[in-house]
Amino acid sequence: MAHWGQPPWSAPPYPQHHPHVYIPGPQYANWWTHPEAYGGRPNPPPSVRSKQYPNLNPILAADTTLLRFDIKRKPRTEILASTYYSNRNSPARASPFTHMRLISKSFPWTIDIVSPDNITCEVVWDALYSALQQPIVDSEWGFIVRDGEMKETVEKAVKKRLTADGGKGDKHYKRIDFLGDETIFKGLEKDDELEKAMVLPLSQGVTETWVVKLSS
C-alpha cells in the first residue's frame, strides 16, 4: 500500500552537467531537510487518489488533477498562489524517489530529474519549465528545418513569444517554441509504448518515467 510523507533515501551519484538533466538547487529545501521552514510537519496526505496511478500525487496525475498552467511561464507565478504554495512541498510520489524522467508526445527530448532529496511537485513543475527554456541547438535546428510545417510552427511561436514580451525577451529559439501553442500542462500519465520508443537502444531506462500531457 502506498504511504505518503515518508522521508527520502539517499540520492544516486550526481551526473555531470547535461542538457537533459535537471538537478534541483538548494532553494528546494523540503520538510525532511528543513522542517522548521514548514512548521515542523509535512503537508497532509491528499484526500483523492488517482485510480490509474495511485502512487502518483493526484495533483500531478492526468486522471485526477484539475491543475492547468502554461509551461511557457514560471510555475511560481503561473499557478494560482493558493494551489502552488499548498502543494509545492508535497511528495510527487507516495514512496520516496530521487530520479524521475519526463517524456512527452509533444516534444522529442527526455528530461531527467536527479535530486538529493525526495522529488516534490514543485521540483517536477520547475524541471519541466527549466528544460524547455533551453535554447534549440544547431543539430536540433537541422532536423526542424527539414520539416516545413515544424519550422513554421517554431518561427510563429518565437514571434508570438517576443511580441508578448514586448520585444525584450530572449531572442534565442527555445525548446518551448517547438511546442507551438501546445503548452498547457494537463498532468502526467503512463505510456509504455512511447517510453520504449523514446529510450535510446542499449541505454538504461528509468523506472519512474512519466509522460507529460500537454494541450493548446
Average pLDDT over residues 195-206: 87
Beta-bridge mates of residue 188: 61, 212
Which residue has cell 538533466?
Answer: 21
- Would you mind telling me the total number of residues written for the chain in this entry? 216
Q: Using one digit for the tens of pLDDT, what is the confidence trace for 143-158? A: 999 999 999 999 999 9
- Summarize pLDDT for 113-140 with one digit per residue, the tens: 999 999 999 999 999 999 999 999 999 9
Residue-averaged pLDDT of the chain: 83
Amino acid making up residue 216: S
pLDDT of residue 25: 66
- The mean pLDDT value for 166-182 works out to 88
Give just the sign of the alpha carbon dihedral 4, 111, 80, 61. Answer: negative
Rounded CA-CA distance 130/143 in Å is: 22
Residues 93, 172: Cα–Cα separation, whole Å: 35
Whether the pLDDT of residue 4 is over 70: the answer is no
Domain boundaries, the chain: 21-134+182-215, 135-173
**Would you state the pLDDT for residue 26?**
56
**Averaged pLDDT, 199-214:** 91
pLDDT classification of 200: cutoffs 50, 70, 90? confident
Segment 23-43, tens digit of pLDDT: 776 554 443 344 444 344 445
Give the CB-side neighbour count of residue 37, counting CA atoms within 13 A. Answer: 10
The pLDDT confidence band at residue 168, using thresholds 50, 70 and 90, is: confident
User: Which pLDDT score, from 0 to 100, does residue 12 have?
Assistant: 39
Residue 79 pLDDT = 96
Q: What is the pLDDT of residue 164?
A: 85
